[in-house]
Structure 1
Amino acid sequence: MLAGALVTRGLWPDPAGRALGLNPDDQALDEWFLAYATRAYRGDFAFVTGALNAPEGVNILGNASLIGLGLLFAPLTLAFGAPVTFAVVTGFNLAANGAGWYLLFARTAGLHRIAALVGGAFCGFAPGMVSQSNGHLHMTAAWLAPPIVWCVVMLAREQRRAVRRGLLLGGLAAAQFFLGEEVLFLTVITLGLFCLAFAATARPALRTVLPTLGTGLGVALAVVVALLAYPLWVQFRGPQSASGGVFGPAFFSADLKSFTAISPLSLAGGESAAQLASGPAEYTSFFGAPVLVVVLGATVWMWRRPSVVACTVVSIVLFALSLGPHIVVGHHRTDQRGPYALLDGLPVFEWALPARFALAAIPLLAFVVAQVVHAALTQTETLKLLVPVAVTASLVPLAPLPLPTVPRAPVPKFFTEGYWRGCAPRDGTIVPVPLPDSQDPQAMRWAAATGVAFATPQGWFIGPYGDGGHAAVGIFPRPTSRLLQRAAVNGTAPALTDADRVALRRDIAYWHASCFVLADGQKGAGALKSTLDALLGPGERVADVWIWRAPR
């Protein structure tokens, strides 16, 4: 936990007034989801909600909605607010990942504690996981992956308790679905590939393994179907569901050169490497040349160990998949198609980002590294010191730096101190000025500060607003939203027409809006106030905001 706190230390002086400098918008979205989950504690939670994108709503399951994390940490959110929960969960996920893999390596694999500690630390704080901590809590919430792996290992290792372990495995898989669905997807893919590679390498007595393993996996599948059939229907066929992936696989693919590069978020990293990824939250394949050399050397040394060989082989497959439909070298797209091209467009895969397949290789590489340290410590005197020193030397450059943070505007007292209740009823609609969207979702924090006690039009989310109902980020803004956005961007109040006033009345009725709110310090605040004064009459000063009550 100390290491997790050090990585997130930039948020701790003032969680509400600090934001992740590399991805503040996803942080605002995460905080809204964490706050929305607290509604479950008053019996008012649904997979499709009109609290965002009012009145049409948002399909929570079609977004990285942090349902599991939100419910688990809801008491903390209720007590201290979503920004504090966000800071805690960001560090907690990294530390819990490391602890989970340490226990698996030490107790299940029987590795030396020092070796298990090295492997666990790499799993928790590898550059890819630290990078994903920039607002992608659904990707770093992978601490149920080690128990899932343990269940599969025990089903294959012991010919007993198949039903009991199958029930546990199914429950863990269902829980991981709500923590992070993409993590569950990557875990299943990786486990399947590992089992195939291990079987081809070790050639175990399938007659003794398959009955127990098959029974356990069958029970687990039955549990998963029973628990997730309805949520999956809602996600893919329910209201506000969307077909197709919204993020292009060609853009979110790993650059071939990135595998030997050091992440800019690591101790030995440099900013020049940043161009090898689609963004600072996607340094998924930045393992560094020293670590890859250690893994290669360890595999050669321990080539008789099927588990080591299988881990290395599957890592190479995952690396290949992470390259996307076309291989990119040094930020240059080549004509060479990658293995992912065979999967591109398939159901489920269309939602996955190719670069994140490299994340699934982290525990595999960690196991190989831990195995070589274990072998050196327990089996040879000549390499007892040399190998751990070499491994440490390869890992030190990857040590994580604290996540960069920046100041952010505080949520107005109008919301934090409850003045909003005089503006709108509970679950009524308050229109932030200008309205939040994917370019600037910070106004979503206003509702989050109240436990999402009122609805917000528009917002930053994935919904069925692309061509033919396909997935898209956000919606087409309504006329009044476009008008206010122009005023904010240009800094001057636009000339108003009767058509603008008619559109305003229609938009108020559509949103079921109770009032409009303009916070101090908003970009173009003078132009926005003049525009709304002209549309709705003089604004009313309440606490630290201007409000305009919607006419009825």
Structure 2
Amino acid sequence: SLSVVIPAYNEAHRLPRTLDALTDHLAAGTGRWGEWEIVVADDGSTDATGDLVTARQDPRIRLVTAPRNRGKGHALRLGVAASRGHRVLVTDADLATPVEELERLDKALCEGNAAAIGSRSAPGARIGDRQHRLRELLGRAGNLLIRRTVVPGIRDTQCGFKLFDGDPARAAYAASRVNGWAIDVEVLRHLRSAGLSVAEVPVRWSHQPGSKVGPLDYARALTEFTRIALRGLRPADVFAPFLFLLMSVALYSGRFFDPAHRYLPDSLRDQNQWEWFFAVTADNVAHFRNPLFSELQGFPDGVNLMANTVMPGLSVPLTPLTLLAGPAVSLSLVMTLGLAATAAAWYWLIVQHVVRGRIEAFLGASLAAFAPPMVSHAHAHPNFVVLFMIPLIIDRALRLCTGTRVVRDGVVLGLMTAYQVLLGEEALLLAALGMLLFAGAYAVVRPDTARESWRPLVKGLLIGASVCLPLVVYPLVWQFSGPRSYTGIEHNPRSFNSPLALLSFAERSWLAGDAETANALSFNTTEQNAFYGWPLVLLAFAILVRLWKRALVRALAFTAVAAAFLSLGREFRIPLTDITLPGPWKLLADQPLFEAVIESRVAMVCAPALGLLLAIALDRLLAAHRLRTRYVGLLGVGLALLPLVPAPLKAVDRTAVPAFIADGTWTSYVREGESLVPVPLPDPGDAEALHWQIEAGLGFKLPGGYFNGPYGDERVGIYGAEPRFTSNLLRDVRNTGEVPPVNASWRDQARADLAYWRAGVLVLTPQPNDGALRETVEKLVGGPGRWVDGVWVWDLHERGLARGPHEGVRPRAAPITLP
């Protein structure tokens, strides 16, 4: 009826007491246990362990031996293989859990479980003498690692008192490969994989002296746990992330292998801006300055970095790399690895919750991460490329719906959300909008599930909010109320999608890309936020019709359609007609947070929804019995996806930094507290001066710049620094090539602006219309500049126009009209 298996190595001093306790208990309950046996598995002991067993001359106590010591796992494999019992009890030789606890484990098996674990961590467990504090902490850390990676849900896998059904136990131990302490984990994982239930039973436990676990055994066990965890992975689960990485490197191949000297021209000026964000964050961290503010741009007012997309969740921890290799390398790695990690996260979510097939999950994740809108933002918007936290947040929300571990999952959700705030708030807002659309649709099609899920979900969300808000309250207060914060920002008036954009192909689509059409339907190359193509739209419609009965399909389809309609803006015109209809975005456009969202970006929510639909359809197709159905369906999928395969992003050689900056000549012209003023001032139309500043080690400050900041008393958000008379004048000359009629009042205003900027030197590089710019500057400052190291220079100290940080006042700008 029962076999008791004891692994033993040099246990001559403890084994007699253990055998006496076991035989007394089992013999006293002969009617309860029927026939029983004790199998001692001697793992190559060098003391009298084996002799003590054979000396008892009891046929119910048997000895199996190994010729040499190979570990607890090997001994248990021998002992369980030799067992004959209907049930098998595995216990350590120290009997730290008394044999009387066997009754509680047996009751768990009578309830239908295949195994019962004597647990020191389950509610109701009683601990007597405790082990050393360090060993206890290491044990807890190991159990936490096991629960997270190998055997989820079991608190204590390592307690040496376990009862099994005999045949499943012998099969599990025979299939094991570990010779060390981790065999318990391997066996439990095997039982779980076979679909057998494992119960965790609280027991009495007391530490016994003479433990065989040494310090090095923890390291060996960690290695064994890792091997077990990796053994459970399918080859595709390792190969898929590798393929995603190759796809990402191919997309960025023009810049990836030489990021410091290559530029993505379709990023417009965003690559310069983002490299500056990484550089200035690293500089602030290295010098223990506030990482949420900088005076290096927009001088002397500065820039509220939290009110810009600096991604402190990555730019701060990557400070060592940025300082060592430069911000161009950091940005390149963030975007390349971030895109691959995002695809891998979608793959994991699909495998966990949607379909088990790895091919289906791979193609669905590829569409979610490499869809045309994502490729468009891949030019220079890492906050919309590095989205690996979004699938993890969705997974945690789905776990909350089950109501099993609401507190834990709520806390984890709060931590994940807080980190995503530091990666990108707009992406989090759009993801939340997409999840809300999906939840509403699913609640309609599956009201029974909604009734069961809403209470634990709401409770978990409240717990998550209570964890998240304290972590992000300071940076958010700084963002919305700190220095140089702003109330809202006006975007391009074309920042909505045309219905035609949803059916057309993006510029970077390899086979079907049409730059002319894409540029006509979007306001720049980094904001081609739709462009899924009519074949994919038709495929999605066919999936919806064919799989209409599946609630998940209907909810995903609604999410994609609703997001697409929201992206059309406040109103939209029906293509090929003059009919204009109000758009649903009008309901959200003026609401807090949404007022700053570029509405065309809402269409990005369609990408993961379409990716999940694709995975579901492929799973159905590959399981189809009729070959004709399978081949026709796969052909349709291929025809829909091929036009969307992205071409590598265009890259060009980077514009060289003027020798005046690169060689450090500028240091002779800019004193402490002064700024270097490029002509014209850097702005969203030309931010090359940010690259100069980075190459100069952030040694000088710049008025103007490319960032989001406030304008006027109302603190309305604008792109770039608050405009002044002289900055507007020089920008107009650059754009038109016409020299204006400079008069005395203009010169006075120019002097006031230069004083406001605390300018030490004006620098003009060769550029279109540089002759007109040079003539204009000469009229404004009253004399010609000098040609120094490849640039025209006006030393304002020589002309008495330079102002130190404490000289004079900071005059207000003359009234101007914004363009």
Alignment match of 2:530 (pick from 250, 270, 285): 285
Pick the aligned partner of 2:439 from 191, 195, 210: 195
* Change in CA separation of 1:537 and 1:416 when aligned onto 2, cut-off 3 Å: same
Aligned to 2:418: 174
User: In structure 2, what is the equivalent of residue 401 of structure 1?
Assistant: 647
**RCO comparison, higher one (Cα < 8 Å, 6+):** 1
**Which of 486, 492, 504 is 1:261 aligned to?**
504
1:208 and 1:425 map into 2 onto residues whose CA distance is 68
Q: Does the 8 Å contact 2:443/2:449 carry over to 1?
A: no
Change (3 A) 1:42 1:294: same
Q: 2:637 aligns with which of 388, 391, 405?
A: 391
With over 3 angstroms needed to count, the CA separation of the structure-2 counterparts of 1:528 and 1:323, relative to structure 1, is closer
Whole-angstrom CA distance in 2 between matches of 1:484 and 1:258: 37
CA distance in 2, matches of 1:333, 1:239: 46
1:344 to 570, 583, 589: 589
Aligned ranges 1:205-220 → 2 under 5 Å = 205-206=449-450, 208-220=452-464
Q: Secondary structure at the match of 2:259?
A: coil
Q: Secondary structure at the match of 1:361?
A: helix
1:93 pairs, out of 310, 326, 338, with 338
Determine if contact 1:30/1:66 at 8 Å carries over to the other structure.
no
- 1:168-225 deviation line (CA, Å, top 9, x unaligned): 2112212212211110001111111211211221223456433432222111111221
- Match runs of 1:35-50 below 5 Å: 35-39=279-283, 40-50=285-295
Matched, 1:111 2:356: yes
Q: What's the CA shift string for 1:259-299, capped at 9, x where partnerless?
A: 22122210222234312223222222211122122222222
2:380 aligned residue: 135
Alpha-carbon distance between aligned partners in 2 of 1:45 and 1:332, rounded to the nearest angstrom:
54
How far apart, CA to CA, are the structure 2 residues paired with 1:110 and 1:312?
17
Per the alignment, do residues 481 and 500 of structure 1 end up closer, same or farther by CA in structure 2, a change over 3 Å counting? same
Count of paired positions: 549
Q: Of 299, 303, 321, which residue of structure 2 is paired with 1:58?
A: 303
Task: Determine what percentage of the aligned residue pairs are the same residue.
Answer: 32
1:82 aligns with 2:327: yes
Which of 760, 763, 775 is 1:517 aligned to?
Answer: 763
Check 1:140–1:239 CA distance in 2 against 1; reply closer, same or farther (3 A cut).
same
Q: Give the direction of change, closer, same or farther, for the CA distance of 1:334–1:141 in structure 2 (3 Å limit).
A: farther
State whether residues 350 and 361 of structure 2, in contact with CA within 8 Å, keep that contact through their aligned partners in structure 1. Answer: yes
Structure 1 runs of 4+ aligned residues shifted over 6 Å read: 492-495
Per the alignment, residue 371 of structure 1 pairs with: 616
Determine the C-alpha separation between the residues in 1 that align with 2:346 and 2:728: 49
Match of 1:461 in 2: 707
Which letter maps to 2:413?
Answer: L
In the TM superposition, 1:151-550 aligns within 5 A as: 151-157=396-402, 159-206=403-450, 208-247=452-491, 251-267=494-510, 268-274=512-518, 275-330=520-575, 334-378=579-623, 380-382=625-627, 383-424=629-670, 428-465=674-711, 468-485=714-731, 488=734, 497-519=743-765, 521-526=766-771, 528-529=773-774, 535=781, 539=785, 543-550=789-796
- The answer for the alignment partner of 1:126 in structure 2 is 371
Deviations 1:467-519 (A, max 9, x none): 84322223453344345446545668767655455444433331223333333
Could you tell which deviates more after superposition, 317-326 or 209-218? 209-218
Which amino acid counterpart does residue 462 of structure 1 have in structure 2?
Answer: N
Matched to 1:294, the amino acid is L
- Structure 1 window deviating more from structure 2 (49-58 vs 64-73): it is 64-73
Q: SS at 2:341's partner residue? A: helix
Gaps (5+ residues) in structure 2? Answer: 1-244, 803-819
- Give me the whole-angstrom Cα distance separating, in 2, the residues matched to 1:160 and 1:7: 41
Which stretch of structure 1 is more off in the superposition, 303-312 or 15-24? 15-24
Q: C-alpha deviations, 1:138-176, integer Å up to 9, x for none?
A: 22222211111111111113x333222222211221221
Q: Secondary structure at the match of 1:10?
A: helix
Q: Say if 1:317 and 1:427 are closer, same or farther in 2 by CA, change over 3 A.
A: farther
Structure 1 residues 499 and 189: alpha-carbon distance in aligned structure 2, compared to 1, 3 A threshold:
same
State the AA in 1 paired with 2:268: P
What is the DSSP-based 3-state SS (H/G/I as helix, E as strand, rest coil) of the residue aligned with 1:327?
Answer: strand
Residues 420-453 of structure 1 show CA distances to partners (whole Å, capped at 9, x for unaligned) of 4444357752212221122222222212334534
* Further displaced range: 475-484 or 140-149: 475-484
CA distance in 2, matches of 1:419, 1:523: 24
Q: Distance in 2 between matches of 1:276 and 1:487?
A: 30
Give CA deviations for 1:90-127 in whole Å, capped at 9, x if unaligned.
Answer: 33333222111011112343420000000111111101
TM-score, normalised via structure 1 length: 0.90
Matched, 1:7 2:251: yes
Distance in 1 (CA, whole Å) between partners of 2:782 and 2:653 is: 33
Max Rg structure: 2
For the aligned residues, what is the CA RMSD? 2.8
Q: Compared with structure 1, are the counterparts of its residues 377 and 437 closer, same or farther at alpha carbon in structure 2 (3 Å cutoff)? A: same
Change (3 A) 1:291 1:205: closer
Task: Identify which range, 465-474 or 485-494, moves more after superposition.
Answer: 485-494
SS of the aligned residue for 1:179 comes to coil
Instruction: Say if 1:480 and 1:503, in contact at 8 Å, map to a contact too.
Output: yes
Return closer, same or farther for 1:271/1:68 CA change in 2, 3 Å cut-off.
same
Contact kept? 1:35, 1:448, Cα under 8 Å: yes
Structure 2-normalised TM-score?
0.62
Counterparts of 1:114 and 1:323 in 2: how far apart (Å)? 33
Distance across 1 between alignment mates of 2:455 and 2:753: 62
Whether the aligned pair in 1 keeps the contact of 2:673 and 2:758 (CA below 8 Å) is no
Amino acid across the alignment from 2:469: V
User: Taking structure 1 as reference, are residues 80 and 216 closer, same or farther at Cα in structure 2, changes over 3 Å only?
Assistant: same
Pair 1:454–1:171, CA change in 2 (3 A)? farther
C-alpha separation between the residues in 2 aligned to 1:16 and 1:278?
A: 28
The 8 Å contact of residues 709 and 722 in structure 2, kept in 1 or not, is answered as no
For residue 349 of structure 1, report the CA deviation from its aligned partner. 1.3
Q: Which runs of 5+ in 1 are unaligned?
A: none
User: Judging changes above 3 Å, is the alpha-carbon distance between structure 1 residues 513 and 21 closer, same or farther for their aligned structure 2 residues?
Assistant: same
Q: Is the 8 A contact 2:342 2:369 kept in 1?
A: yes
CA positional deviation for 1:542: 5.3
Change (3 A) 1:173 1:536: farther
Whether the 8 Å contact between 1:128 and 1:285 is mirrored in structure 2 is: yes
